[in-house]
Structure 1
């Protein structure tokens, strides 16, 4: 079981090797959630993730003989980049086994740090089994992403910094996959401030640690927008620490995480991946639980696939009523389409897409159905657009 002094020693070891990220208040998110929100920007690390901390702490302690052999890791991306970057910095050979579903941006970034990439399996567990086999075959040092005391101690330095910057935090809300981050943070935080509340966040689709701690049997899904915490098997070292020190674990849905990603992008102008937004997702889903408290959130990573981000932003605009799809029915005569588009424009909405439908409709043959995707200012504006279409003698409805 790691202790506070292990984390303090790790912090000394990491000085000058990575960024001491800011932990600052967010007035807008505080207004939205009802809590006093402080954000720890771990997405500003060079590899855009807190995973650098554990990787650097582990690699820095290897013996000369172990350095000569090189290292191997399995990861969906962030641990991979942390190991690859610090291995390159220390002049070590690094082999990284990644599941086949890993976002391309993470694969290429890891390869860019000089690591040898092996894509194998559809899950982290399959990648881990293959990595362990390669480690034995090639005599490489296996660097586990979370089930390792040195990794956990390195991740715990996040809490040291947060409590140095904001000593009177009431709670830390931390995303949980294998459990390395929250285990390290809980060890440090509870030793410094015993009454601080530590809350872990998992997704409904990957509730392995939640099940292990609470004795529940929630089913596991096959994929998640928060692939960084899509872990099927919790680490044994973190599990023991979490059972002793973490106050509670909560679950959030995929939609909650999408909302949090868009909110951080809009409000804080900061880009986070799904796992990095899980803490804010919990605050948004359970506001009464944190109301009035000083809450520290870790924006644990910022490596997100650009195409996924584009989809999330668009879906977020739909949920916010800023992007809407409407259907307009009218007589199929010259000038009808112009009348529709003019009415929408006069209502102050912008048209993204137009689909003019004649064949695939149940309307009378002399009628036409037009589907529009429009940009609006929100739900009230959508209602105003529909009202003006009705005033123009057109049948219109939100789809």
Structure 2
């Protein structure tokens, strides 16, 4: 009984500021009376409670997250520290396609990881390839690669015939049967494709179409391609992605700086010859610059053409119906700047590979990218030569701590 009274004194004392406040509460008066009866005086009861409080173990509280300061030209950026570990495949191959349709592979450990921003960029212009890299696929888990072109054709090729950057690179026409006016905008492994139920395309004009994987037939697309989407004359494929579960969501971003987050259920499954439905209301002089399925992803990274960017939590975008204008993702604050690329970020353990239009590359640890909030402007993430612009952003397995 005495231990119970002491415990009650300790709990009540933690809720009041002084003795007068304690006596103003009904339970406090009763506690004083019982304490005096048990210990002979109220002072003795308080003394016993004080001794017990000193002996009690401190309540376990989570320490505040450590903060690492990443300096930029615009001032220091606070970034949450994260116990990064090197992931399997962090140094593995990356299949790339250049703007002149040259195809090659490069080992990811060729790119040094920057753990602070703004990151320095390194020259990257493989012999025999143009400087403008259009698409990159890290660590394909099978030799067979599926490639989607800007005119809506799905091709397949064997990555084993794609040369490394140490040799003379091949053109896409030597690997897959693409036409002279085609360019590759998305790639994934055939094995990954077989694990999924649907694949989706998003066009620069803001349309989206989802088709069942089985539409490709038993063997899937071949070297010469399968028509996967009918396009109007002025439209083209911006990107394509896979969908494992029907209940997932889609995120699209526009050149003007908006993002829309909607359910994949809003996009019914269509045949290969369908033209799709509206994903985003773009207005005049605006296009889609990227889209992805948000399955397994809590954040995204957005970059502007001039190398400014940030991390943004997807939960900051309410889920709405497709076809709307969306919400502000990032507004570039320099004249002539505009959004250039987005990428899903499954974990802070990842790295971002950024390829520029002028033939430069940077590998940035996700922990080095600040997350100031959806409505905040981006910070400078890259130190690029004057006139250069961000082209492609690809997610790589994390290379570990600094």
Tell me the TM-score normalised to structure 2 length: 0.29
Tell me the TM-score normalised to structure 1 length: 0.29
Say which structure, 1 or 2, has more relative contact order (CA 8 Å, 6+ apart): 2
* More strand, by proportion: 2
* More helix, by proportion: 1
